[in-house]
Structure 1
Amino acid sequence: MDIIQIVGIGLIATFLALVVREQKPLFAFLVTLFAGIMIFLFVIDELVKIIQLLEGIAADANVHIMYLQTILKIIGIAYIAEFGAQIAKDAGQASMASKIELAGKILILVLAIPIIKAVIEMILSLLPG
């Protein structure tokens, strides 16, 4: 099972980082970073399958592809910002992690504006008047 391999990589990296952190903090950080990248590579194929499934559902539901692409970009920004923030926290940079999270939230809001506008326009078109 993939999850067993992923958890195994995570636990081994955690153990190595804890053991090495006292002598070589930089090496401990690199082990953690490398493990995070390896875990991400494990799930990339599954992410592609999810995106293809969502595209099929959107096509069947006659949803404009722009909305689906925007939603997928928003999800991507959220995951990437979270990953970057966690790496910054692991490196002892909580302040930088907060800034990464803030930047991610702002970028998500910017991407969401066209969808919010379309929803408001649809609601207004349904109102009598």
Structure 2
Amino acid sequence: MEIIQVVGLGLVATFLILVIKEQKPVFAFLLATFTGVVIFLSLVGKIADVIGLLTKLAQEARVNSTFLETVLKIIGIAYIAEFGAQVTRDAGQGSIASKIELAGKVLIMVMAIPIITMMIETVVEILPS
């Protein structure tokens, strides 16, 4: 049911933006950004539920909490970078949007180094000498 509300809000905002864009392009951009923020905020509760469930499952499986925290940070970086790039692209700044995406990818790579290192060390331990 929530998806209907999100899509409805998106469609109404899109219609209003199309009507307003010709006369007040700055206001149209602000409305688009505000709509994106409202949609994101409406999902925060769901995101918290997912994080709680993943944390519980990781504790039950006795997975190192560092791994879960790192993966969640990586996912957060990806979503934030994508949102920022989309807003920037909506403002007509495709070049800056590309740089935001690049920064997100680099930060994800940096965050993944401890996990990759641990995986390589585990494989090396398994392999015969």
- Structure 1 unaligned blocks of 5 or more: none
Map of 1:75 onto structure 2: 75
Alpha-carbon deviations, 1:14-36, whole Å to 9, x = none? 11111111111100000000000
How far 1:2 moved relative to its partner? 1.1
Q: Residue type of the partner of 1:52?
A: G
Q: Residue type of the partner of 1:98?
A: S
Task: Write the mapping of 1:1-129 to structure 2, written as runs, cut at 5 A.
Answer: 1-129=1-129
How far 1:61 moved relative to its partner? 1.2
Whole-Å Cα distance in 1 between the matches of residues 42 and 127 of structure 2? Answer: 48
TM-score by length of structure 1 reads 0.98
Whole-Å Cα distance in 2 between the matches of residues 13 and 52 of structure 1? Answer: 32
- Structure 2 unaligned blocks of 5 or more: none
Whole-Å Cα distance in 1 between the matches of residues 47 and 77 of structure 2? Answer: 14
Name the SS for the 1:63 alignment partner: coil
How far 1:68 moved relative to its partner? 0.2
TM-score by length of structure 2 reads 0.98
Name the SS for the 2:63 alignment partner: coil
